[in-house]
Amino acid sequence: MPAPLKLTPKGERRLRQGHLWIYRDEIQGAKPEMHGSMVAVNDSSQKIFAHGFYSHKSKIAVRIITRSAQVPDRSFFREAIRAAGLRRKGKAGKNSGVRLVNAEGDFLPGLIADWYAGQIVVQCLVPGVDVLREMFAELLWDEFQPEGLWFRNDSSMRELEGLALEKFMWRGKETPEVVIEENGLKFLVSLSEGHKTGWYLDQAENHLRAKAFARGRCLDAFCFQGGFALHLAAGAEEVVAVDSSQPALSVLERNCELNRVKNVLPVRANIFEILPELHKRGEKFELVVLDPPPFAKSRKDLGSAAKGYAELNRRAISLLNPGGILISYSCSFHFALPDLMEVVRKACGELGRQARLIEFHTQAQDHPILFNTPETWYLKGVVAEVD
C-alpha cells in the first residue's frame, strides 16, 4: 500500500463526524501513482484512522471503506457483501428485482450490484473498485449464486474518474433480457441496454404508493418503460404515458401486453413541449406524475435546474382538476426536498391554487441513506392534493 495520507483538520473533523468522503483539499501526501489504490489515512496524531479508495482525478479524493487501522482484505469485503444481502432480508427471489449493494449506502463505495430474476448486473464506478472487480464479481457470485453476472460499466461517472466505458458478460448463462415481478406486475428488463442497470429499482415502493391515488385520467411524464404507468392503470380510466424515447415506449407497450393492460396510451413527445400543448387543448387529469432525470448533477447547475423544475410543476398543476393529485420527484442530490416543496408552493401561488401535502417519498429501502453522508439521499418526492 502507498504511504498513509495525512488529513487536514477540516478533513479529520469530517471523518470523525461520520462522513465517508475526503475531498482533495482535505488531504496531504497524495500522488498521481496512487490512483486506484487502497490508501490509509492518518489522523492528527499520525495514527491510521481509516482506509479508502483513492482517486487522483475526482474532487472526492478518498472514499472511505472502513474507519479502522486494519487493512481491508478479501474476507472483509466478503462480510460487507454478506451484510448488504442481510439488509435485503432475502428479497433476491427467483423473479424479483432488487439492489444488492448500494455503494456508500452499504459501505462499499463505488460498487453497485443489482439482482434481476437470477441475473446480477454490476457497476464499478471508481478506480479502486475497478481494480478489484474480479474479486467483487467472485464474491457476489459465491454469496448470491446467480445464473449469470454482467458488468454494465457504461456510467458517465466512470469517464469523470478516467475509466473506460464497457459492458460485458462475466460468467454464467447469458440472458440479455429478463422479466422481473414488481408489486404483482411483470416488467421486461434489458441487462445490456437502457437506463442505470436496466430498471429504476429505487422507485419500486413509490410505484406502489402512486397506485393508491390513481383514478380517472392520469398523466405519467417521463414514463420510461412504464413503472408508474402500469401501476396507475389498475385504478385509472386512462393513463397517458409520455416519454421522448421511442425504444423506451416500445418496451412499455410490451410491458402492457405482458400484464394485459389496455388503458395506457404511450405518447412520444418532449415533456416541455407537450405540457403546454395539453393545457392549450383544455385537457385535464386527476393525477400527474413528474419523474424527470436529474437536472442538477452539480451545484453549479442549481440555477437552471430550479427553472426546469419550476416550469414542469407549474405546467403539471395547470392540468389538474380541482382535488387532483400531483406526485413530483427530484433525483438530484443538490436539489433538496425543501427546494422541491418551494417549487410546488410558488407554482400554486402563480396559478392561484392551493396544495395540501399528503406524504413524502424517497428512494426504496434497498438504496440505504446514511445520515452522516447526506449525499446518499438523492431521491425525494412530494404527493400533494391541489384544490
pLDDT level of residue 146 (50, 70, 90 thresholds): very high
Angle at alpha carbon of residue 321, lines to 353 and 328, rounded to 5°:
70
In the annotation, is 331 catalytic? yes
Mean of per-residue pLDDT scores for the chain: 95
The pLDDT tens digits for 345-378 are: 999 999 999 999 999 999 999 999 999 999 999 9
pLDDT for position 246: 96
pLDDT for position 294: 87
Residue 131 has pLDDT above 80, yes or no: yes
pLDDT for position 90: 78
Q: How many angstroms from the chain centroid is the CA of residue 78?
A: 24
Residue 305 has pLDDT above 90, yes or no: no
Same-domain pairing of 280 and 139: no
Mean pLDDT value across residues 181-201: 92
pLDDT for position 26: 95
Residue 15 has pLDDT above 90, yes or no: yes
Residue 1 has pLDDT above 80, yes or no: no
Q: Which residues contact 114 (CB under 8 A, 6 or more apart)?
A: 97, 98, 99, 100, 120, 121, 196, 197, 198, 199, 201
Residue 350 has a CB neighbour count (10 Å cut-off) of 12
Same-domain pairing of 276 and 348: yes
Which CATH number goes with the domain that contains 119?
A: 3.30.750.80
Asked if residue 194 is part of any domain, the answer here is no
Check residues 192 and 320 and name the one with the higher pLDDT.
Answer: 320
pTM score: 0.94
Mean pLDDT value across residues 97-113: 98
pLDDT for position 201: 97
Residue 319 has pLDDT above 80, yes or no: yes
pLDDT for position 193: 84
Same-domain pairing of 55 and 109: no
Q: At how many degrees (to 10) do helices 337-351 and 302-318 cross?
A: 50
Nearest CA to 42 out of 97, 84, 3 is that of: 3
Asked if residue 193 is part of any domain, the answer here is no
From CA 269, how far away is CA 67, in angstroms rounded?
Answer: 49
Q: Which residues contact 291 (CB under 8 A, 6 or more apart)?
A: 203, 220, 221, 222, 223, 224, 228, 329, 331
Q: What is the residue range of 38's domain? A: 5-66
Q: Is 138 helix (H, G, I), strand (E, B) or coil?
A: helix
Asked if residue 191 is part of any domain, the answer here is no
pLDDT for position 367: 97
Asked if residue 143 is part of any domain, the answer here is yes
pLDDT level of residue 227 (50, 70, 90 thresholds): very high
Same-domain pairing of 142 and 237: no
pLDDT for position 89: 87
pLDDT for position 192: 86
Query: Parallel, antiparallel, or unpaired for β 320-330 and 285-290?
Result: parallel
Q: Which residues contact 68 (CB under 8 A, 6 or more apart)?
A: 50, 51
Asked if residue 192 is part of any domain, the answer here is no
Same-domain pairing of 90 and 220: no
Asked whether the beta carbons of 368 and 339 are under 8 A apart, the reply is no
Residue with cell 474480479: 134
Q: Which residue out of 218, 223, 331, 348 is catalytically annotated?
A: 331
Same-domain pairing of 238 and 135: no
State what percent of residues in the chain have pLDDT above 70.
100
Mean pLDDT value across residues 115-135: 97
State what percent of residues in the chain have pLDDT above 90.
89
Same-domain pairing of 357 and 244: yes
Which CATH number goes with the domain that contains 344?
A: 3.40.50.150
pLDDT level of residue 88 (50, 70, 90 thresholds): very high
Asked whether the beta carbons of 246 and 226 are under 8 A apart, the reply is no
Among 178, 211, 226, the domain-final residue is: 178
Q: Residue 129 is placed in which grid cell?
A: 473498485
Same-domain pairing of 155 and 247: no
pLDDT level of residue 2 (50, 70, 90 thresholds): confident
Asked if residue 188 is part of any domain, the answer here is no
Nearest CA to 126 out of 97, 159, 167 is that of: 159
Domain count, the chain: 3
Residue 297 has pLDDT above 80, yes or no: no
Same-domain pairing of 150 and 239: no
pLDDT for position 283: 97
Asked if residue 183 is part of any domain, the answer here is no
Same-domain pairing of 78 and 40: no
Residue 296 has pLDDT above 80, yes or no: no
